[in-house]
Amino acid sequence: MAKKIKIALVGNPNVGKTALFNALTGSHQYVANWPGVTVEKKTGRFSWKDYEVDVVDLPGIYTLRARSIDERVARDYLIQERPDVVLDVVDATNLSRNLYLTIQLSEMNLKTVLILNQMDQVENMDIKINTSELSKRLGIRVVETVATKGVDLDEIMEAALDTSLSVRYQIYPEPFEKLVKKIEEISKGELKNNGIPLRWLALSFSEGDELAKKILEKGGLIKEVEKAAAASEYQNASLVIARSRYNFISSTLKQVEVRPKASWTVTDALDHVFTHKILGIPIFVSILWMMFEFAFSSSSPLSDLIELGFNALGSYAHAIPGWLGSLIGDGIISGVGSVLVFVPLIFFMFFAMGILEDTGYMSRAAFLIDRLMHRFKLSGKAFIPMILGFGCNASAIMTTRTVESEKERIISILINPFISCSARLVVYAVIAGAFFGKFAGLVIFSIYMVSVVFALSMAVVFSFLLKSRESSPLTMELPRYQLPTGKGLWIYMWSRGKHFLKKAGGIILGATVLVWFLSNMPWGTSAQNSWAADIGKTLAPIFAPLHFGWHITLALLFGGVAKEVTVTTLGTFAGGNLSVFLKTVLDPINAYALMLFVLIYIPCVATQAVMHMETGSYKWPILSVIWSLSSAYIITFLFETVGHLVVRI
């Protein structure tokens, strides 16, 4: 019978922790959320000899002080779950910062293995690290890796199972160390069997940690511990603790690390251009334009091939007599097929976004836009969810937890649905391809730029309404530039794109069947006289000023569930050729106006659910629906009015 072992991956952001997780688990991964919060939880599994190994990838953190949700999730897991081994992944080129977390892990009495990642960069920078001496001084095993190029699984697992080393160093002043031991002694009787690491408890209480206080209060020990602290000179010792840790790190690195004199690196040279105060933003906009052009042009041949395949399947389906042939041909194949045609576009878009993220440019984009964001009462931290919104608004809203100001966080949540997600991209691709030909990529890019400008404009409005005067400062580390790996890009692209395929087999398929049913009932009537037409024609007067017919009205109604359903609804009425059908119900100005409306109007159901979950209130999703629908109507009406006037002139 296989032995089971549980490993937790811990580390600072941008140290290659995800690359190590991918290298260990491959495709055997599962993504969920931690209980009670919307922080992503990644777990995986692999086999080694006679061991079954479960791996948990904890959120990237700098400390276990638990100021943010990410830090709280990581700390609570380590305390409550007590993994068998912690792989502490560090950036080997920046040990002075990374080892602070290593010390905290050791103080939790966790079996820790230090993973020195990015050792290829250490060699390129001519840094010398004495890993054996580092292992002795820290009292833990040290393993060198380059996670993006694969890992030596045997070495990591042998280190994880090694029990020969143990932490033995003492880094705090003797008077303070006596206080720590005193608190440990007081806590030992009541908390010994609770699995609480007593040294961590004593140190955390001395730092003013709220969880440590609650644990001591629950055990009825808080008064005795506070009395012991009051009798010492360390009633709040956070500064002493931090200084002692950094002093220990500094003295250790003097013995184990040799660095060359500072020199101009490739990262410095690239940052000089990409983060330039004048050139930076034009370069950023150009990169975004190239990303859309690449995705659209690269995916077109594959999309055309898939469309031919679905047309052929539709022909075979129509040969089936009766309602079954109509359901398969006019409903499922025509409806779902009109969306699946654009699967290559979605995957190429995520591939391009993966390149920007894995090379390290995405962090530069947030840094670059920070100054601009302050003019809109937001910080660079709020820009990161906006960028992620290009993929999915629902998951992007979850990342707003990093925004410290509550009002700024609410504003970030409210404006994120105005960022054009990948689901809307399907609608744009259909319309732009039908009306704008070789300029389709440029037209789609313009819609994305409109989405950013509109979102930022709404940020100013919401800041005024919520009386949010200040934006939180942006503090982040810019990782070194590096070449992305094929495996890493594939995992990034697939993990995000597969949700689109799942939606095609779930909500999109269900909506397609529903639309087909409504458009064929009463049975034997034409689509013009069907129940679907009745619904569309009933609502059509509302959208008449926008020059949207009942087909478009019905598509927008169903598109409120999921934006891709807009296309499947139109595809059901298209008779196999959506581009030709659209030209019968829209002109180029109406077409662009429809793209604007789809961009701005109500968030999908999934996004509304996440907004409620993140804010803990229904008022913000309701406000978002009313505000976005009203804004979409007004802006589309103004655009069409002005556009048709210009054409007549």
Residues 82 and 215 in one domain: no
In a domain, residue 270? The reply is: no
What is the pLDDT at residue 505? 61
Higher pLDDT, 184 or 39: 184
The residues near 170 (Cβ < 8 Å, ≥ 6 apart) are 177
Residue 442 — φ and ψ, nearest 5°?
A: -65, -40
Same domain, residue pair 535 and 593: yes
Specify whether 221 is located in the same domain as 340.
no
Q: Which residue has the tokens 């087999």?
A: 505
- Say which range, 166-180, 201-215, 395-409, has the weakest mean pLDDT: 395-409
Q: State the SS3 of 81-95.
A: CCCCEEEEEEEHHHH
- Provide the domain count of the chain: 3
**Do 628 and 515 lie in a common domain?**
yes
Q: Tell me: pLDDT of 635 over 80.
A: yes
Task: Decide if 10 is inside a domain.
Answer: yes
161, 188, 217: which is the final residue of a domain?
161
- Residue 328, in any domain of the structure: yes
Task: Determine the structural domain holding residue 137 and report its residue range.
Answer: 3-161
Domain boundary among 119, 137, 161: 161
Phi/psi at 505 (5° precision)? -85, -5
Q: How far apart are CA 272 and CA 125, in angstroms?
A: 19
Q: What is the mean pLDDT of residues 146-172?
A: 78
- 132 & 201 share domain: no
Average pLDDT over residues 108-118: 88
- In this structure, the answer to whether residues 237 and 310 fall within a common structural domain is no
The span from the CA of 123 to the CA of 135, in Å, is: 19
59 with 139, same domain: the answer is yes
Quick check: helix, strand or coil at residue 171? Answer: coil
CA angle 112, 114, 115 (to 5 degrees): 130
Q: Are residues 89 and 216 located together in one domain of the fold? A: no
Q: What is the mean pLDDT of residues 247-272?
A: 83
Peptide bond into 541 cis (omega under 30): no
The whole-angstrom separation of Cα 254 and Cα 246 is: 12
For residue 267, being part of any structural domain is answered with no
Q: Do residues 552 and 586 make contact, with C-beta atoms less than 8 angstroms apart?
A: yes
Q: With 70 as the cut, is the pLDDT of residue 470 above it? A: no
Handedness of CA 280, 409, 355, 61 (dihedral sign): positive
Comparing 182-196, 306-320, 501-515, the range with the smallest average pLDDT is 501-515
pLDDT at 34 (0 to 100): 39
Q: What is the structure's pLDDT at 37?
A: 43
| 423, pLDDT greater than 70 | yes
Which residues, 6 or more positions from 29, have their beta carbon under 8 angstroms from its beta carbon?
Answer: 21, 22, 42, 43, 44, 495
Distance from C-alpha of 556 to C-alpha of 247, rounded to nearest angstrom: 62
Higher per-residue confidence, 3 vs 495: 3
Q: How many residues does the chain have?
A: 649
CATH code, domain carrying 194: 1.10.287.1770
> 90 φ, ψ to 5°?
-125, 155
Mean per-residue pLDDT, 274-286 = 85
The two most distant CA atoms of the chain are separated, in Å, by: 91
How do residues 551-584 score in pLDDT, each as one tens digit?
A: 888 888 888 877 877 887 787 777 667 788 888 8
Does the structure show a pLDDT above 70 at 166? no
Most confident range, picked from 50-59, 386-395, 459-468: 50-59
Instruction: For the chain, give the percent of residues with pLDDT over 90.
Output: 8
Judge if 156 and 231 occupy the same domain.
no
Distances, alpha carbon 333 to alpha carbons 3, 191, 230, in Å: 48, 63, 75
- Distance of alpha carbon 208 from alpha carbon 196, whole angstroms: 17
Distance CA 441, CA 452 (A): 17
Question: Does 407 reside within a domain?
Answer: yes
Taking a C-beta distance cutoff of 8 angstroms, is the pair 462, 415 a contact?
yes
Classify residue 129 as left (phi > 0), alpha (psi -120 to 50) or beta: beta
What whole-number distance in Å separates Cα of residue 334 and Cα of residue 55? 43
Nearest to 614 by CA among 413, 467, 458: 413
Average pLDDT, the chain: 81
Task: Give me the pLDDT at residue 630, please.
Answer: 93
SS3 content of the chain, % helix, strand, coil (to 5): 70, 10, 25
Same-domain pairing of 246 and 300 = no
**Would you say residue 269 lies in a domain?**
no
Say yes or no: 311 and 251 in one domain. Answer: no
Residue that is last in its domain, among 126, 161, 196: 161
At residue 565, the pLDDT reads 78
What residues contact residue 264 under an 8 Å CB cut-off, 6+ apart?
Answer: none
Cα–Cα distance for residue pair 543/637, rounded to 1 Å? 9
Say if residue 541's pLDDT is above 80.
Answer: yes
Please give the average per-residue pLDDT across 626-633, as a whole number: 92
In a domain, 9, yes or no: yes
Which region among 290-299, 322-331, 350-359, 488-497 has the lowest average model confidence (pLDDT)? 322-331
Q: Are 229 and 235 in contact (CB under 8 A)?
A: yes
Please enumerate in sequence order all residues whose Cβ is within 8 A of that of 220, keeping only pairs 6 or more positions apart, or say none.
190
CATH of the domain at 61: 3.40.50.300
Residue 91 and residue 202 in one domain? no
Does residue 264 sit within a domain?
A: no
Provide the pLDDT confidence category of residue 596 given band limits of 50, 70 and 90.
Answer: very high
User: Taking the CB of residue 357, how many other CB atoms lie within 10 A of it?
Assistant: 18
Give the amino acid at 279: L
Q: What is the pLDDT of residues 324-376, one digit of tens each?
A: 776 777 667 766 676 677 778 778 888 888 888 888 887 787 777 777 777 77
Predicted pLDDT at 301: 85
